[in-house]
Each structure stands twice: as C-alpha cells, then as structure tokens.
Structure 1
Amino acid sequence: MKHITSPHNAIIRHAELLQRKSKARKKEGLFLVEGQREIMLCDQGGFELQQLLVCGSILLNTEDFEANDIYNKININSKPEVISVTQEVYEKLAYRTGTEGVIAFAKAKSQQLQDLKLSENPLILIAESPEKPGNLGAILRTADAAKVDAVIIANPVADLFNPNVVRSSVGCVFTVPVATGTTSEVVEFLKSKNINLYAATLQTSERYDVMDYTTGSAIALGTEATGLSQEMRDAALKNIIIPMSGAIDSMNLSVSAAILIFEAKRQRDFK
C-alpha cells in the first residue's frame, strides 16, 4: 500500500486541482468525494471509484490497516486502490471541517438526456441555469426524498461535482439520475416523451396546487434573480405560482422546488 507523507506529492497536488477547478474536473472526467456516506452512495450509484485516500488515524483510529478494513468500514462493493496519507496531508485536502478520514477519486458518468431511464409515468424536476452549488445540492436532496425519475439541469452554470454540491446534497447527487442540456434540448426531450411541462414563474401564472401532476410531468424552476427563460415559459403547458403573502415575491430555489415536487407526489400518492 502506498503511504504519502508530503502535501507536495503528485497525487495530492492532483487531488487539490480537482478540488478547486471545475475545468480540471470536466476535462478529466474525475472529481473528489469526501466522507463515508457520500463515498458509499457514490459506489452504490454506479460511479467508478478509482482511488481512496485514507487517514487511518481518523477513519479507523489506527495507522495499521488493510484495504479490506476500509471497504468494510464504508460499505462499498468496488475495490479501488487504497492510499494511506498522514493526518497533515489529509487535512490539507479535506473540504469539510468535520473530517471523516477518507476521500475518493471518482469518475463522472454520462449526463446525456437520451441516457435517462424513465418510468412509464415520470415525474421530473428541472432547474434552469442554477448558479449556487448549495442550492443545486439542496434540490438534489429534495429530489431524492421525493424519489423523482430525474433531475434535468438546463443550461448548467454550477458544476454538478463541485465539492459544495456533493456536500450540500449529502450524496444525493449520486442517488438521483441527472442529465443536462440546453433549454431547447430539454424542451424537445420532454415533447418526445409526451411529458407535460409546468413552469414556476410570476408571469401569467395559476396556483400550483390546482394543477394535475398525475400524468407524466416536469416542473421547471429558474434562478431567484432572473427566473425561467422565455423559451421555457413558452414551452410550458401551464405557468404555475406559489401564492405568497409577504413583502417579497420569491423564495429560495430549493424551498420552492420542495413545495412543488411534493404537491405532485401528494397527488400521485392519493390518485
């Protein structure tokens, strides 16, 4: 087993690059996953784990361990290469303040629309141009809780494998099927699947809770600053709105997503 004691080691420098740079993650198709639960979900979600950087004194309270000790500890089926690192090296890489002692190099999967496997009566959540990684992660967490068929990101801005997306989604970025595309591609995809599109917007909208989401449905939300594009609104079967009684006319993106998607779930559960 390799043992790394220097923060200047090439593997550690590579990990730092992937941690910091979206361009590097996209170019190499690699990203980092930190934490036992997140790595387990990544493995169970069918992502390829290539290497594990392990600080045994944190993860197992010992410096003396075998690879199988790690596989069993974090409950993964794949057998990536295990590399031992000192606590100093690990803490240099750790993105989270509460360290767990293990970081994985993982390979990204396809995010093509045509690769999505949908049910006969799909429920899809669409986020158009989400900018904040924390919001995107929270949306993925909501999508997992509602067990939607897929999350589609139209015109993506935030990197899906940004460390803050992985952290704020608590690993749900690996449990929910995700695809990306331009708004035009997303609209055409929904039309080809006969999926009704509902656009959350202030303009010419009806209450969200009077719509029927029991057939194939996709609910689209835009950014808090600019909302949905005209193209997305024009393609919608209906524009929908969450009535609000306060001084402001919008809510946090992930909160809105939760309200809308769970109304669709409520209707389907009681159909």
Structure 2
Amino acid sequence: MLKQIFSLQNPFIKQLVQLKDKSRERRKSGTFLIEGVREISLAVKGNYEIETILFYPEFFSQEQLNNLKAQQLNTIEISKDIYEKLAYRDTTEGVLAIAKSKNHAIEDLKLSTQNPLILVAEAPEKPGNIGAILRTADAANVEAVIIANPKTDLYNPNIIRSSVGCVFTNQIATGSTSDIIAFLKSKNINIYCAALQASVNYHTQDFKKPTAIVVGTEATGLSDDWLKSSTQNIIIPMQGDIDSMNVSVASGILIFEARRQRNFK
C-alpha cells in the first residue's frame, strides 16, 4: 500500500527539511535529497543507492513514477505544500529522492587508465562554480575531478542543481592539498597549475601524457604548495583589462585544450 504524508509537522518531513538546508545533517545521516527526473536518473546510473522516492501526483503522474522506478523503492505520496517546502528549484517536476552519500576520499580514488586527464580545484566555495566545473568535467569526460580543501559539501542542493546532475556522473575525490599532491605524484601525473607566476601560455604545453590541471579561486589563486609542486604553471592570455576569469570558465578552456590534444577520444 502506498504511503502518504500530508502534514508539514510530520517528524520525517521535518527531518528532510533539515537534510535540504543543513550540511551538518547531510553528513550526520549520510543521506541527501535529489530533485528532478534527470538528476535522479543520473544518480541511479552513477550507482547511488536511492532509499525513498517522494512525489506530488498533480505534478508527477503514476505513469512517470512507474517509468522512474527501475527497482523496487520505498515510495511516498506527499502534498503540494510539503513538495514546495522540500524543493529547491523554481521548476515543478514533482519528484524527489532520498539517496545515500558516497565516500570521496582521495586514497580511495581508482583510476581506470594509465593516461588520465584529471581536473583539480582547490578550495572552491561557491556552489554554482562547483556545479559548473562538474558540468564541464562531464562534457570533457575527464577521468576524475578532485577537490582540494573543500569548503562546501558535494551534496549541497545548489551544487546538484547547477551541475544538472553531473555531481553523479563524475568520479569525484576530496582531500587536503598535501594528500592530493602526494596522490598525483605517486601516479606520475604531471601537474599543470593555472597561475600568474612563472607561467607559460597554456596551449604551448603537452597534455597528452598523464595530466592534472589545477585551478584555484579567483580571489586567492592557488596555494604555495601547488606552485612548488607544479610541473609547469600555465596561463590563459587575457586580451582585455582584467587578469583573471571565472574559475569554471577557465577550467573549461584548459580542460578542453587537453581534450583537443588527445583528439577528443
């Protein structure tokens, strides 16, 4: 029998509101919310374990629910006010999922090729930038995205939204800058740091070998540890009056140059 919850005062719903709003609750429970058909489908494709589907039937039909449910899942019908309380987008698809978080420790990252192309971002803070970086990484089919010294948890609703679900399609690892540098060096991966100091134009470098492209924040750039460990610092030549660009845009330029050199294979 289909379970139904129609009260905002229901303890389970109150817990889900906390899950949406609080990083602390996501870490404590090891779960998070996903909104939208595409995002849920990508999470399933990415081997995330879905615990529960919640849907509002006037926005999301029983037929759509049946199409989404490739496996037997706990399903709850909710009211419009509950859906609007839990949703974080302006669009109204009418379906959410509760999923289990994955482990993203750098020491557990498995590379499937001897010649990886990796994108590293140090201390990105804005969820929109992180989401855009993940979207770019998916488009370029990089081997992995590594986030050094993360400031925001990966399952922040705005990261899921801005990445259009690519948080689930990329292999992602996190760790300290020192641990990530040690990991890259242990795999003999060349480190190319986007930096102003001692840099050369990015398109002059050979990215066909094992490569990690490393970007920092617009405000502070990369830490000294990265600059000391760099195979070569690289720069995108600016043609206007400013000397930097948005980190997600810069990531796209650099990673697609590497992909171009590899003949987009």
Task: Say yes or no: TM over 0.5.
Answer: yes
The one-letter code matched in structure 2 to 1:17 is: Q
2:82 maps to 1:89 = yes
2:29 maps to 1:34 = no
In the other structure, the counterpart of 1:50 is 51
Segment drifting more, 144-153 vs 1-10: 1-10
Alignment partners' CA distance in 1, 2:98 and 2:57: 17
Secondary structure of 2:228's counterpart equals helix
Report matched runs for 1:121-200 at 5 Å: 121-200=115-194
Alignment partners' CA distance in 2, 1:238 and 1:177: 25
Secondary structure of 1:170's counterpart equals coil
Q: Of 96, 99, 102, which residue of structure 2 is paired with 1:106? A: 99
Alignment partners' CA distance in 1, 2:107 and 2:156: 24
In the other structure, the counterpart of 2:16 is 15
Change (3 A) 1:85 1:270: closer
Alignment partners' CA distance in 2, 1:69 and 1:200: 45
**Structure 1 vs Structure 2 CA RMSD:** 1.3
Change (3 A) 1:146 1:79: same
Secondary structure of 2:208's counterpart equals coil
Using the TM superposition, give the Cα deviation of residue 2 of structure 1 relative to its aligned residue in structure 2, in angstroms: 1.1
Structure 2: runs of 5 or more not aligned: none
Q: Is the 8 A contact 1:71 1:79 kept in 2?
A: no
* Matched residue count: 263
Q: Equivalent pairs: percent with the same residue? A: 54
Q: Is the 8 A contact 1:150 1:176 kept in 2?
A: yes
Segment drifting more, 125-134 vs 5-14: 5-14
Alignment partners' CA distance in 1, 2:115 and 2:73: 37
The one-letter code matched in structure 2 to 1:18 is: L
In the other structure, the counterpart of 2:108 is 115
Q: Is the 8 A contact 1:33 1:103 kept in 2?
A: yes
Change (3 A) 1:270 1:173: closer
In the other structure, the counterpart of 1:70 is 65
Alignment partners' CA distance in 2, 1:218 and 1:181: 15
Q: Is the 8 A contact 1:43 1:78 kept in 2?
A: no
Alignment partners' CA distance in 2, 1:27 and 1:234: 36
Change (3 A) 1:57 1:257: same
Using the TM superposition, give the Cα deviation of residue 204 of structure 1 relative to its aligned residue in structure 2, in angstroms: 1.2
Using the TM superposition, give the Cα deviation of residue 115 of structure 1 relative to its aligned residue in structure 2, in angstroms: 2.3
